[in-house]
Amino acid sequence: MRISNKTKVALLFFAIACFIGVVTSLFVNSIVTNQIIAEAQERVKEDLNTARYVYSSKIREIDRTLRWNSIRHVLKKSLKERNKKLFEEEFKNLMAEEGLDFLTLVDKKGIVFHRIHNSDSSGDSLQDDPFIHKALSKKGVSGTQILTGTQLLKEGPLLAKKATIPSVPTPKEKGRKIEEETSGMVLKAAHPILDYNGDVLGVLTGGVLLNRNYEIVDQIKSIVFKDAKYMGKEIGTATIFLGDLRISTNVFDKEGNRAIGTRVMKEVKERVLEEGKPWIQRAFVVDDWYITAYEPIFDIQGKIVGILYVGMMENKYALMKERLILLFFLFSMSGMLMALLVSFYLSLKLHKHSIG
């Protein structure tokens, strides 16, 4: 069967239109995808800066509280007279007002004179504690510290219990070594107590336990993501990890509970904890994909002890990309239809011209 010249021309125009439409669609898909993801990654990078500021601000707040109270006359007198009753009740109120989990007075030899949060425990040495060591050399210090289960027990059984977190099996994690975490991450400060001659009388130290403490992560979410939701889930989330274990988070599991005890994705752990580099790209978070930013948390000795994370649901951006591509596809198909009509019109004119 012979195909007329009119049909051949029409098919040629249609083939060219289809080819251009397909190539353009693929090109636009690539551009839209890269642009949307790039913008989202740039945003979480900025969000991580905010998260770091909130985290550091809490440390500065604790440091300011300890610094101003370390110069008080009542502490100097209490250490000289070995009389804890002079300050005990007042400093219990201070703990409640400032939201501190522990507050301890240490003498000039590094021996615990009094734990205000646990009055039954005293007399042990904290000379090896890097915070106490620096404070005894007349240097105030603040930062992050990991306390073992044994150390936490000295601070009090309630604190040790709060810190204990069972490890929860997590998709894409890098093999668990322990079934239960008993260590705790604390934000802490220590300042020397000096007499009027500038000699060290002791140290005032205290801070907060981050395990199961959601103040910082919820503040980050509130500032950065405005508590926005998408399809019933939080668009943005924040987490503090002890090592690769979630100890404070507003990522929720399928049962609607905070995903405490879950672990970070294997690739993120290797990048952040083992290489000490930030991770700013998509990652699997508990049970879904997020556009994420992670960075290491260091203690005052420069050792990597955890991870600070912020992330946004990838689904929202995937839907945005699909809508833009669909919109372009509709325009593209309209153009192709017009091209087809034009091709038929031109082929018809050519056919009439050839007859004439």
- Please say which residue of 157, 192, 209 terminates a domain: 209
Do 258 and 176 share a structural domain? Answer: no
- For 45-77, the pLDDT digits (tens) are 999 999 999 999 999 999 999 999 999 999 999
| Residue 21 placed within a domain | no
pLDDT band at 30 (very low <50, low <70, confident <90, very high): low
Q: Does this model's pTM top 0.95?
A: no
Q: Which two tokens stand for residue 175?
A: 């093999």
pLDDT band at 354 (very low <50, low <70, confident <90, very high): low
Query: What value does the mean pLDDT take over residues 23-29?
Result: 56
Do 252 and 134 share a structural domain? Answer: no
Do 196 and 82 share a structural domain? Answer: yes
Q: What is the Cα–Cα distance from 195 to 216, expressed in whole angstroms?
A: 36
Do 184 and 69 share a structural domain? Answer: yes
Count: domains in the chain: 2
pLDDT band at 19 (very low <50, low <70, confident <90, very high): low
Do 222 and 143 share a structural domain? Answer: no
Q: Determine the pLDDT at residue 140.
A: 96
- Please say which residue of 167, 188, 209 terminates a domain: 209
- For 74-121, the pLDDT digits (tens) are 999 999 999 988 888 999 999 999 999 999 999 999 999 999 999 888
| Residue 30 placed within a domain | no
The angle at the Cα of 264, spanning 261 to 266, to the nearest 5 degrees, equals: 135
Do 67 and 164 share a structural domain? Answer: yes
Q: Which of 37-46, 176-185, 323-332 has the lowest mean pLDDT?
A: 323-332
pLDDT score of 324 more than 60: no
pLDDT score of 24 more than 90: no
pLDDT band at 315 (very low <50, low <70, confident <90, very high): confident
pLDDT score of 178 more than 90: no
pLDDT score of 177 more than 80: no
- For 244-290, the pLDDT digits (tens) are 999 999 999 888 899 999 999 999 999 999 999 999 998 999 988 89
Domain interval for residue 266: 215-313
| Residue 340 placed within a domain | no
Tally of CB atoms within 10 A around 190: 31
Do 159 and 132 share a structural domain? Answer: yes
pLDDT band at 340 (very low <50, low <70, confident <90, very high): low
pLDDT score of 11 more than 80: no
Do 174 and 81 share a structural domain? Answer: yes
What mean pLDDT value characterizes the chain? Answer: 85
| Residue 23 placed within a domain | no
C-alpha 329, offset from chain centre = 37
Greater model confidence, 4 or 132: 132
Q: Which of 174-188, 302-316, 340-354 has the lowest mean pLDDT?
A: 340-354
- Please say which residue of 313, 331, 346 terminates a domain: 313
Q: Determine the pLDDT at residue 314.
A: 81
- pLDDT > 70 in the chain, percent: 76
Do 167 and 94 share a structural domain? Answer: yes
Q: Looking at residue 252, which CATH number applies to its domain?
A: 3.30.450.20
Q: Which two tokens stand for residue 148?
A: 């073992």
Q: Determine the pLDDT at residue 16.
A: 63
Greater model confidence, 30 or 299: 299
